[in-house]
Amino acid sequence: MTDDKTTGASSPAATRLRLRHFSKSLPMSLLRARESVMRHFRKSLREFGVTEQQWRVLRALSTKPQMEVAELARATFLLGPSLSRILVDLDQRGLILREPDPADLRRWMISLSASGSALIDNVTPVSEAIYRQISQRFGEDKLGQLQDLLAELEDAMAGIGNNGPGAPAD
Amino acid sequence: MTDDKTTGASSPAATRLRLRHFSKSLPMSLLRARESVMRHFRKSLREFGVTEQQWRVLRALSTKPQMEVAELARATFLLGPSLSRILVDLDQRGLILREPDPADLRRWMISLSASGSALIDNVTPVSEAIYRQISQRFGEDKLGQLQDLLAELEDAMAGIGNNGPGAPAD
DNA sequence: TCAAATTAGATAACATGTTAAATTTATGAC
DNA sequence: GTCATAAATTTAACATGTTATCTAATTTGA
């Protein structure tokens, strides 16, 4: 359908560099794959009244008793401003606790509240059920392969634009 | 660093279902992988004055002489409202052309303008150079494997929540 | 022919993504 | 101790994501 490779309107492949077919570009493939998975999770999360991002935050908090905001941002892959707004919301809804770090008043220590933990406990079986479906349908082995490749890709990308390790690209 | 597997604060694995480690969840892996790739492309796109989403639109338009808005939305994986705003912007900047479909006045036929095509021609070599770097660093074979797995995952996911083929979940 | 249902696209409203700037607190040089 | 600088977080401003609603054009069926 969208496989029309010869309609270049005005640019023959010989004279201009030709981009790989759009739908096959790596970023689009990753985007589509992620969306195909998230579609199933989002539906359940919505029933529990949390967005995907809010769930990421709660989920990350469930792995440690307390986390700083910056640490949480790294873990959830959210930027500071987004996270900041989400924390206000989760706090107002009583799902998390924020206490100042006595050693550094710039820092907040974030943790799950009892009701936040309860929410996690409620969502977990549903989430795991979906994950099991994916495993069965896609195959445990392939899932493992995919995870390995994704991790390797991340590693490979980490070393490309940087002059030194961890050096910001700009 | 975030590999702390034993800090379950209050919930032993025996009593509560335990979620797979957050950072290893498939959606997070896909998100991180995509971000690690896009980081490199975004930097170049920005120098050319287009966002990632705008580039997706131009890129999709470069595969066909004309596209309808809905078709473009599917191809770029953008939702209608986002695309609508982006098209207004690209039109005002003269990068695309919008002409009404005489056969159905609800439809617009979108196409690249000359300056839109020129922009593509300018970005293409940069984009391809980045892609080559990725290929070299990550490996052609692995890249192919990854693309295959992603496509298979999409296929697998497509058949999960649906009662019939293409039936909306609700 | 005409009213109801459908369809394509746009607009509205609010959440999040993203970059820059502001705020508050720490740290270090003098 | 005081001032400049840095760091952690928030606020601001604007683009995009997302769902719902709206408008206009088309189709359907009596």
Weakest-pLDDT range from A23-27, A143-147, B111-115, B149-153: A23-27
pLDDT value of position B13? 38
Please tell me the distance from the alpha carbon of residue A69 to that of residue A77, in angstroms, as a whole number.
Answer: 12
What residues in A contact B134, CB-CB < 8 Å?
Answer: 26, 156-157, 160
Q: Could you tell me the sign of the dihedral formed by the alpha carbons of B151, B72, A38, B55, in that order?
A: positive
Q: Is the CB of A51 under 7 A from strand D?
A: no
Residue B161 — pLDDT band, cuts 50, 70, 90? low
| Residue bearing tokens 């059920």 | A129
Inter-chain contact B117–A9, Cβ cutoff 8 Å? yes
**Residue A164 pLDDT greater than 50, yes or no:** no
Confidence of residue B47 (pLDDT cuts 50, 70, 90): confident
> B127 pLDDT exceeds 80?
yes
Strand D-proximal residues of A, range 99-118, CB below 7 A, are: 104, 106-108
Render A38-52 in DSSP notation, one character per residue.
HHHHHHHHHHTT--H
What pLDDT, on a 0 to 100 scale, did the predictor assign at position B81?
94
Chain A residue at shortest CA distance from B38: A27
In DSSP terms, which residues pair with A100 in a beta bridge? A108
Nearest CA in chain B to A16: B121
What tokens were used for A51? Answer: 């967005």
d(CA A149, CA A130): 22
DSSP assignments along B58-120, one per residue: HHHHTTSS-EEHHHHHHHHT--HHHHHHHHHHHHHTTSEEEEEETTEEEEEEEEE-HHHHHHH
Distances in Å between the Cα of A161 and the Cα atoms of A149, B48, B52, B160, B170 are 20, 18, 18, 39, 44
* The dihedral sign for the CA sequence A55, A57, A58, A62: positive
Q: Which residue has the higher pLDDT, B71 or B11?
A: B71
Tokens of A14: 């010989």
Distance of residue B105 Cα from the nearest chain A Cα, in angstroms: 23
* Cβ contacts of A39 on chain B, cutoff 8 Å: 157, 161
The per-residue pLDDT for range B50-81, each reduced to its tens digit, is 999 999 999 999 998 999 999 999 999 999 99
Give Cβ neighbours of residue A9 (< 8 Å, ≥ 6 apart): B65, B111, B112, B117
Taking a C-beta distance cutoff of 8 angstroms, is the pair B56, B50 a contact?
no
pLDDT tens digits, A20-62? 577 778 999 999 999 889 888 888 888 888 999 999 999 999 9
- Helices B69-76 and B80-92 cross at an angle (nearest 10°) of 110
Q: Round and report the angstrom distance from CA (A43) to C1' (C5).
A: 28
Give a three-class secondary structure readout of A78-139.
CCHHHHHHHHHHHHHCCCEEEEEECCEEEEEEEEECHHHHHHHHHHHHHHHHHHHHHHHHHC
Which residue is closest to B57 within chain A, CA to CA?
A22
Does the pLDDT of residue B150 top 90, yes or no?
Answer: yes
Gap between the Cα atoms of B72 and B92, Å rounded? 18
CA dihedral B111, B114, B119, B122 (to 10 degrees): 130
Would you state the pLDDT for residue A12? 37
Contact, B169 CB vs strand D, < 7 Å = no
Chain-centroid distance, C-alpha A79: 12
Looking at the complex, report in whole angstroms how far the Cα of residue B99 sits from the nearest Cα belonging to chain A.
17
**Which of B7, B44, B55, B153 is most worth mutating to test chain A (most A CB atoms within 10 A of its CB)?**
B153
pLDDT for A161: 61
Instruction: Tell if A69 CB is < 7 Å from nucleic strand D.
Output: yes
Name which of A34-43, A85-94, B19-28 the model is least confident about: B19-28
Provide Rg for chain B, Cα atoms: 21
* Predicted pLDDT at A111: 94
Longest CA–CA span in chain A (Å) reads: 66
CA distances in angstroms from A9 to A25, B99, B123, listed in the order given = 21, 17, 18
Q: What's the CA–C1' distance between A70 and C27, in Å?
A: 19
Q: Assess contact for A132 and B11: CB atoms under 8 A.
A: no
Scanning every strand, the nucleotide with its C1' closest to A50's CA turns out to be C15
Of the pLDDT bands very low, low, confident and very high (cuts 50, 70, 90), residue A158 is: confident
